[in-house]
Structure 1
């Protein structure tokens, strides 16, 4: 579950009714006009998610989200099925405010706050009514937009196809009890998931089935997916190994969900702000899970995931880079340089075709990685605004 961004002076959407998506920014006064029906305030607490209005006209909507509770919270705009994540802003600490800007077409939605970042959230119906606000685009810019969308769509589909093929091979050897081979294939297969993680996470029903970590499980939640199998392949002390039947069940479940994911991705359309926001979201995945070592707690293959998230973020940026060069050339240069600096640091931890295990990376080296991620995060947070002009 990740973020998104602002007003679309130009935007292309593939497919009827495709969302002209979203943005998450630090709270500013420029993204929305106070008193406008498109400017809404949100107060999140342990017991409530108070949105100042339950309707708004189609176009650029600005949600100013304030955490009035005692736990870190999240805010979501969900599709009419209550599952599809239209836009989100995460990790809002107590007393802090962040801003979510969404260019949304008319339709039915849900708003949701997640105090403690767990559970289904505190939800309410939200309606976007028809309006005459339409994005415009010059012919030259449209050509850049079309190219970015076409190339990114092809990239995501290719990674999804490779994920399916790699998962098929992985579950085959895991079911057969060939654990050494399965351990070798595990990080290689997950690379394809991590490169498109923000896209996969947009399917709110599939992501927890496929990528939930044990520490994140809700009470009563059945644990399935990659990390359930990871624990069986790298068992901790006093762990009871899965039986052959249990292995087969978890393997089959993972493969079935991967096939469903691939089918759904084949029906997706993208917009340039989704591409830019996906780039930012992937780097946040690095900052919140990979740098800390929390993602691959048993296998310690975090650096494979780290690299894959950076790959996906870089591909997203490079796809919209011609637009950024047109609108903010200094930002394009800065991002190019900081992606290169982070990659150089990652390359220093390579071991053959892969990486060293993360539990062998010393604290000072982890801090170097964290600092490089933070150095890239700041300009990357401005990518979508530059893309949208």
Structure 2
């Protein structure tokens, strides 16, 4: 929605002023020669070293399998430290992340499904957190405030959605469904980092693990648009959704946020667009994919704008390209606005979907280099 985008841009501008402080760019302590080589295949996930210095860590990923894969770094409790999706067969990806001292697991997920093939690794020493550019500390603080704001603003809208479901107000619940998801979509990587909330709130039916009960937005979406009937079980699901979202709201302030995490999270949001929104899989019943699409792009742009003072100093050409490609995606998305929202995604032709996909790809490539740009000079 245009009004929603205006408020987000205003928030970015306000938060960005916090980052305008002096500071020297931080040099990465993750040299290419020191990178952890991750070789993924359809049935293996090999790492070149199982122990490495804490601090700025670079993963050099090569997918030698026949399936698209994704790579995760998990802390205990399956808390996501960093991830990279959409690594195609025969392609490579570089991931820069800040990893604290401790034990972790690196997971490769052939087909981007399941628990993944995992290798235990450890980060040793004290790391290099003390060297961080002061502007990056300000960016992290501003982004933490932004993620909390999004959670706080989501709950009242989600409560109205849940109330409509419990009143058996089918049309009212449909109108509130997409707006109730916007704050979540803007900050999804932070919500996913906790490991246990996303599967309760945002999982699709084909993403369920064996024995997992289906709860959350998409379960209710199916009732509203496909079944077209609200049941007593849906009333319970609405209550459970609010309970889980309140858990998210309470915990979001404790998230482990780093500059590289913000940058990688921005790329993850573009991956979300490419793998779910552009394909129409995310909102397969409601066809409100373009609302989610906008939320993901807004969240990615927020992270970038907060990191831009350092990124533009370290890599001005990258910043120029990101400005250009974000503007192009927003301009293209504007074509599909209708009233206060967007056209139903099932009316978007295959050729137009490809146009959207190409624009997202053009942004995703330079965005994948943002994490390296905030830790090098």
User: What TM-score, normalized to structure 1?
Assistant: 0.83
What pairs with 1:63-102 in structure 2 (closer than 5 Å)?
63-81=59-77, 83-102=78-97
Instruction: Give 1:77 deviation, angstroms.
Output: 1.5
Displacement after TM superposition at 1:350 (Å): 0.8
| TM-score (normalised: structure 2) | 0.86
Q: 1:323 to 1:200 in 2, by over 3 A?
A: same
1:128 partnered with 2:123: yes
Going from structure 1 to structure 2, the CA distance change for 1:43 and 1:332 (only over 3 Å counts) comes to closer
The residue matched to 1:219 in structure 2 has which SS?
coil
- What is the aligned counterpart of 1:353 among 331, 340, 343? 340
C-alpha distance in 2, partners of 1:347/1:382?
26
Aligned mate of 2:221, from 224, 227, 230: 230
* Matches of 1:64 and 1:145, distance apart in 2: 24
Partner Cα distance (1:241, 1:329) in 2? 54
Whether the 8 Å CA contact 2:224–2:230 is kept in 1: the answer is no
Alpha-carbon shift at residue 241 of structure 1 (Å): 4.5
Q: Give the corresponding residue for 2:14.
A: none
Q: Deviations 1:70-101 (Å, cap 9, x if unpaired)?
A: 433322211122x1011223233344433333
Q: Over residues 131-155 of structure 1, what are the superposed CA-to-partner deviations in whole Å (9 max), with x where a residue is unaligned?
A: 5656525xxx51x223322221111
Partner of 2:10: none
> Partner residue of 2:231?
243
Q: Deviations over 1:280-309 (max 9, x none)?
A: 221221111111111100000011111111
Q: Are the counterparts in 2 of residues 10 and 135 from structure 1 also a CA contact under 8 Å?
A: no
- 2:9 aligns with none
CA RMSD, 1 decimal? 2.5
Seen in structure 2, the aligned counterparts of structure 1 residues 43 and 327 have a Cα distance that, compared at 3 Å, is closer
Instruction: Return 5+ residue gaps in structure 1 as ranges.
Output: 1-7, 12-19, 23-29
Which residue, out of 102, 108, 114, partners 1:119? 114
- The 2-side partners of 1:69 and 1:323 are apart by 36
Q: Separation in 2 of the partners of 1:114 and 1:178?
A: 40
Q: Is the Cα–Cα contact under 8 Å of residues 40 and 63 in structure 2 kept in the other structure?
A: yes
- Residue 10 (structure 1) aligns with: 26
How far 1:310 sits from its partner (Å)? 1.1
Q: Could you tell me which of 52, 57, 67 is aligned with 2:53? A: 57
Alignment of 1:1-389 (within 5 A): 10=26, 31-33=31-33, 36=34, 39-81=35-77, 83-130=78-125, 136-137=131-132, 141-142=133-134, 144-235=135-226, 239=227, 241=229, 243-244=231-232, 246-389=233-376
8 Å CA contact 2:144, 2:257 repeated in 1: yes
Query: Contact 2:139/2:307 (CA < 8 Å) preserved in 1?
Result: yes
| Structure 2, gaps ≥5 residues long | 1-23
Cα gap change, 1:52/1:344 in structure 2, threshold over 3 Å: closer, same or farther? Answer: closer
In 2, the alpha carbon distance for the partners of 1:187 and 1:315 equals 20
Taking structure 1 as reference, are residues 281 and 333 closer, same or farther at Cα in structure 2, changes over 3 Å only? Answer: same
